[in-house]
């Protein structure tokens, strides 16, 4: 596959890209764990990078003095794109890589302004808005759960009578399962609605991206039973290339949907995997996504794959460390190479099975310590354990929180061995979480 495969006709910016000039701009979320992984990928590729952030000091703390740090207004995508365009006048930018849902809209707007291959900004916005996504997918005939949207202002009583049970309530603009809660009857529905309203108020006070409009509406969906899978892909000129299909072997039945295990390759029958790939590609097309990373989540219902989400970003947290391609290329390298317009020869994942366990926060409080780290690391197949929460930090479980205690990684000959290694290592860990001291 050459660099020009599926790309739009070369304009001036594309010629620049071919000549290999300019840096790739990484739009990393403020609290990204992945900065180091992207920076080392860039070094291996020999591609220069600029790191965008809306809180410069956070990135600096983490990686020392990064090569080029750009302060951008992440909360206002148009303004951030204008900042990037202004920057590009003095400093050629050959590609833009989004780090999360919030920055995928900025990446689309900026790449459009710079004349680089990009997702239509409207498509990136649609993908980051759960209700808009649902509407677009349903209109295109892509299988999605039955759903209803309600103005928050109307309160829960009418909606509780209008929906079917069991259902899942969710905010339209948050991510990482934050505020996603199952309700089995009208009484639980009303309490759940109010709980989500509190989560939305808190998210607003944290100054997360996503404006008031994204808080004015709640989405309710029929609960879709069945196993869940996640598809990691790369869109090139509108064509979805599947990089990996992960099984999520822990049942996700609610009421909260904490992700724990991701294991690849999938153990589902090949025909079902092919159906997942087909439906995910249809979904990306229906949303209008064309270029760059996609992370899709689907349920395998008795009627076939149902799309829960297609995000215009790559897999979150440190989970990308499970993936290696060709002769050991990382997902970050692939994404940088794609954004830089470099030729990408082999997208085939390695032969071995791999997996990650996102370590759930068992209860709220202050993390005082983690025991069993060495024992967990010693489990055969376990490759690494990264605790991402510093001791002394307050932690909050889902659905109010949206983070994990860390990540456990394993590789083995088969997915079953990977799953077993991750479960066994997790069983050796003890998290000492205590109630915060009362404030005087």
Ligand X SMILES: Nc1ncnc2c1ncn2[C@@H]1O[C@H](COP(=O)(O)OP(=O)(O)O)[C@@H](O)[C@H]1O
Question: Which listed option, Mg ion, ligand X, none, makes contact with residue 215 (CB within 5 to 8 Å by class)?
Answer: none
210: left (phi over 0), alpha (psi -120 to 50) or beta: left
Q: Counting contacts by CB under 6 A, is residue 228 touching ligand X?
A: yes
In order of 398, 409, 428, 434, 435, the CA distances from 363 in angstroms are 9, 22, 18, 9, 9
Alpha carbon distance 170, 220 (integer Å): 6
**Least distance (Å) from ligand X to the CB of residue 283?**
13
Neighbours of 274 (CB within 10 A): 12
In the complex, least distance from residue 439 CB atom to ligand X, rounded to whole angstroms: 30
Asked if 252 touches ligand X (CB under 6 A), the answer is yes
Residue 405, class by beta-carbon neighbours within 10 Å (0-12 exposed, 13-18 middle, 19+ buried)? buried
Quick one: tokens of 129? 């808005």
7 to 46, contacts with ligand X by CB under 6 A? Answer: none
User: Which alpha helices (H) appear in 299-378, and where do they start and end?
Assistant: 331-340, 373-377
Q: Report d(CA 274, CA 175) in Å as an integer.
A: 27
Task: Indicate which single residue of 195, 223, 239, 255 sits in contact with ligand X (rule: CB under 6 A).
Answer: 223
Please choose which of Mg ion, ligand X, none residue 419 contacts, taking the beta carbon within 5 to 8 angstroms, the exact cut-off set by kind: none
* Residue 322: burial class (beta carbons within 10 Å; 0-12, 13-18, 19+): buried
Q: What six digits make up the tokens of 224?
A: 């879709």
**Residue 385 CB-density burial (10 A; 0-12 exposed, 13-18 middle, 19+ buried):** buried
Residue nearer to Mg ion on the CB measure, 130 or 285? 130
Label residue 205 exposed, middle or buried (CB < 10 Å: 0-12, 13-18, 19+): exposed
Q: Residues touching ligand X: how many (CB under 6 A)?
A: 20
**Residue 315 sits in the site that holds ligand X (CB under 6 A):** no
Q: Contact at 8 Å (CB) between 409 and 359?
A: no
The binder of 180, among Mg ion, ligand X, none, by C-beta within 5 to 8 A per type, is: ligand X
CA 277 to chain centre: 18
Q: Regarding beta strands 93-98 and 23-27, do their DSSP bridges make them parallel or antiparallel, or are they unpaired? A: parallel
Residue 291 phi, psi (nearest 5)? -145, 135
Residue 309 Cβ vs Mg ion, minimum distance, rounded to whole Å: 4
Tell how far CA 162 is from the center of its chain: 31
Contact string (CB under 6 A) for ligand X, positions 166-205, x = contact: --x-x---xxxxx-x-------------------------
252 binds, among Mg ion, ligand X, none (CB under 5 to 8 A by kind): ligand X
**Which C-beta is closer to Mg ion: that of 252 or that of 353?**
252
Query: Which 263-302 positions form the footprint of ligand X (CB under 6 A)?
Result: 297, 299
The only residue of 50, 136, 183, 224 in contact with ligand X, by rule CB under 6 A: 224
Question: Given the complex with ligand X, which of 138 and 428 has the nearer CB atom?
Answer: 138
Can residue 149 be called a binding residue for ligand X (CB under 6 A)?
no
Among Mg ion, ligand X, none, the one that 71 touches (CB under a kind-dependent 5 to 8 A) is none
Of residues 59 and 318, the one with the C-beta less far from ligand X: 318
Closest separation in Å from C-beta 192 to Mg ion: 18
126 binds ligand X (CB under 6 A): no
224 touches, from Mg ion, ligand X, none (C-beta below 5 to 8 Å by class)? ligand X
Segment lying near Mg ion (by CB under 5 A), choices 129-137, 156-164, 303-311, 328-336: 303-311
Min dist CB 179 to Mg ion, Å, is 12
E strands of 147-200, at which residues?
147-151, 167-171, 181-183
Structure tokens of 167?
A: 């259902």
Question: Of the candidates 129, 111, 108, which has an alpha carbon nearest to the alpha carbon of residue 120?
Answer: 108
Among 100, 221, 232, 309, binds Mg ion (CB under 5 A): 309
Only segment of 88-96, 115-123, 157-165, 301-309 that touches Mg ion (CB under 5 A): 301-309
Least distance in Å: CB of 256 to ligand X?
A: 8
Burial of 303 (0-12, 13-18, 19+ CB in 10 A): exposed
Size of the site for Mg ion (CB under 5 A): 2
Chain residue whose CB lies nearest ligand X: 257
Whole-angstrom distance, CA of residue 105 vs CA of residue 219: 21
Least distance (Å) between residue 148 CB and Mg ion: 19
Within residues 389-408, the interface with ligand X by CB under 6 A covers: none
User: Using CB under 5 A as the criterion, which residues of the chain lie in contact with Mg ion when the complex forms?
Assistant: 297, 309
Binding site for ligand X (CB under 6 A): 130, 145, 168, 170, 174-178, 180, 221, 223-224, 228, 252, 257, 297, 299, 308-309
């Amino acid at each position: 596959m050459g660099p020009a495969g599926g790309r739009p006709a070369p304009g001036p910016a594309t010629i620049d890209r071919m000549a290999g000039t300019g840096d790739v701009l990484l739009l990393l979320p403020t609290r990204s764990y992945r900065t180091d992984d992207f920076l080392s990928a860039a070094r291996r590729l020999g591609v220069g990078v600029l790191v965008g952030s809306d809180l410069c000091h956070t990135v600096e703390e983490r990686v020392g003095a990064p090569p080029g740090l750009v302060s951008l207004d992440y909360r206002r995508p148009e303004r951030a794109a204008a900042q990037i365009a202004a920057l590009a006048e003095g400093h050629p930018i050959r590609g833009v890589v989004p780090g999360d849902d919030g920055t995928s809209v900025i990446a689309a707007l900026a790449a459009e302004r710079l004349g680089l291959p990009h997702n239509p900004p409207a498509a990136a916005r649609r993908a980051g808005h759960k209700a808009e996504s649902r509407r677009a997918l349903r209109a295109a005939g892509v299988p999605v759960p039955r759903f209803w949207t309600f103005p928050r202002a109307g309160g829960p009583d009418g909606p509780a009578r209008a929906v079917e049970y069991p259902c899942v309530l969710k905010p339209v603009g948050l991510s990482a399962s934050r505020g996603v809660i199952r309700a089995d009857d009208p009484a639980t529905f009303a309490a759940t609605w109010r709980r989500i309203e509190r989560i939305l108020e808190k998210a607003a006070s944290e100054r997360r991206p996503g404006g008031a409009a994204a808080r004015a509406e709640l989405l309710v969906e029929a609960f879709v039973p069945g196993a869940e899978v996640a598809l990691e892909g790369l869109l090139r000129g509108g064509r979805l290339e599947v990089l990996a299909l992960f099984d999520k072997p822990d049942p996700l039945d609610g009421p909260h949907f904490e992700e724990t295990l991701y294991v690849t390759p999938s153990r589902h029958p090949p025909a079902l995997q092919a159906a997942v790939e087909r439906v995910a590609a249809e979904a990306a097309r229906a949303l209008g996504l064309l270029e760059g990373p996609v992370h899709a989540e689907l349920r395998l219902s008795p009627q076939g794959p149902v799309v829960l989400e297609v995000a215009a970003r790559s897999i979150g947290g440190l989970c990308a460390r499970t993936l290696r391609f060709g002769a050991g290329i990382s997902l970050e390298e692939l994404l940088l190479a794609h954004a830089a317009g470099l030729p990408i020869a082999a997208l085939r994942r390695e032969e071995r099975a791999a997996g990650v366990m996102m370590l759930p926060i068992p209860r709220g409080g202050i993390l005082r310590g983690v025991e069993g780290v060495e024992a967990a690391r010693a489990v055969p197949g376990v490759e690494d354990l990264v605790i991402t929460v510093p001791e002394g930090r307050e932690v909050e479980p889902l659905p109010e929180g949206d983070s994990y205690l860390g990540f456990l990684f394993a590789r083995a000959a088969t997915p079953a061995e990977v799953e077993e290694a991750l479960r066994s290592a997790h069983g050796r860990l003890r998290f000492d979480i205590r109630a915060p001291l009362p404030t005087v």
